[in-house]
Amino acid sequence: DSSYSFPTAGQGGHGKCDCGKCKCDEGWYGEACQYPTTCNLTRKKSNEMCKNSQDIICSGAGTCQCGRCKCANSEGTGLVYGKFCECDDRECIDDETEEICTGHGKCYCGNCYCEAGWHGDKCEFQCDITPWEIKKRCTSSDGKICSNRGTCVCGECTCHDVDPTGDWGDIHGDTCECDERNCKAVYDRYSDDFCSGHGQCNCGRCDCKEGWTGKKCEHPRSCPLSPEESAKKCQGNSNLPCSGRGKCECGQCTCFPPGDNRVYGKNCECDDRQCENVDGDVCGGHGICSCGRCICQDGWFGKLCQHSRKCNMTEEESRSLCESADGILCSGKGSCHCGKCICSPQEWYISGDFCECDDRDCDKHDGLICTGNGVCSCGNCECWEGWNGNACEIWLGREYP
């Protein structure tokens, strides 16, 4: 017998694999037997499960079938794929040669990754210097290509510009060796300053003015404490001075944003913004916030008091709303209560409607996820007002002296 039954990856197993092709059980179809012939989801619920992060059903490149995306042409060419049909490898096809990445690279999710010696969106341009010379010109003194802060194209580094405000960028140099972000003290972002406003930044290093010392010129020489003693006093029980939410000067914390009374405490340890959801509701309207934690009213529970203890659903109805597209309850990482997933509290980083997200994927800055200036939503930072950047690390609000 040449057929062997095994679960299809991530789909729960609805058929048998016979010589590289799926033979589906009754009630299932598709190249991986991933689509049920009858659907017990409402159209609205099905469409919700098919929306990408921009709320577009199947990224506009497929149809939604019972909570799962069926990508256009995927059975014929396989060029459109992904959970939400977000990858379109047709973007990699060169118009002239009609080859993927002009035959000089590999395509991944609509982007060409070129072989050595080739460049361009579709690897259509050849460099006039050898791959060895290209690498040599782009290698920084620490042996890294463009200091790991840029891309090498034909022997020239294009540095990653990290400043979304359109300034010339914080990373520069022939091999991107200068990173001005190293000069920025945490508080500097409010005044668009470097070196705590007490020094000059030269290729990522602070040269302090008279009367100031420290890696970022943050410590006044007149202070009776050493820089280490000052930082320790500001740190308290936190991992970072002023809990990563303020300026430490001679052992005293000034919390930021300035004037925002939601951040407070001797070491800025209380951040009541943590009690707000993306819409700014405090504890879901069902509790009070105390030092960044919600204390829920009777009948409500959850980190943001978002779950009601009362439930007027049957167990079956509840479970059907907690199943993700692959048919697994809360992605196997949580429990179901009244049609909503409650993600495992032991794994703080698991989140999402179906516990499908890993908040460790959110960018960090200053050692904090989303720099403490936003909410991590399914691997992406959603910044609070006045903040920008992948990790909400850039202040675009008003300047402070």
pLDDT tens for the chain, 401 residues long, are 333 333 333 344 788 888 888 888 888 887 778 778 888 778 888 888 898 878 889 988 888 888 888 888 755 677 888 888 888 888 898 888 888 998 988 888 888 888 877 888 888 888 888 888 888 999 999 899 998 888 888 888 888 765 544 444 578 889 999 888 788 776 666 666 788 889 999 988 999 999 999 888 989 999 999 988 998 999 888 888 888 888 888 999 988 877 778 899 999 999 998 898 877 889 989 999 999 999 999 999 988 898 888 888 888 888 888 887 777 889 888 889 888 898 887 777 888 888 888 888 887 776 778 887 888 888 788 888 778 878 887 777 665 54
Q: In the prediction, which pLDDT does 209 show?
A: 94
Phi, psi for residue 331 in degrees, rounded to 5: 55, 20
d(CA 183, CA 170): 10
CATH 2.10.25.10 placement within the chain: 15-87, 362-395
Q: In the prediction, which pLDDT does 8 show?
A: 36
d(CA 50, CA 60): 10
Give which of 268, 267, 226 is closest to 250, Cα–Cα: 226
Query: CA 191 → CA 197, 216, 371, distances in Å?
Result: 9, 15, 17
Phi, psi for residue 23 in degrees, rounded to 5: -105, 115
Structure tokens that stand for 48 in this block: 């919700």
Buried b or exposed e, range 89-113, using 16+ CB within 10 angstroms: beebbbeeeeebbbebbebeeeebe
d(CA 365, CA 350): 20
CATH number of the 15-87 domain: 2.10.25.10
**CATH classification (class only), 362-395:** mainly beta
| Cα–chain center distance at 60 | 23
Q: In the prediction, which pLDDT does 190 show?
A: 65
The answer, as to whether pTM is greater than 0.95, is no
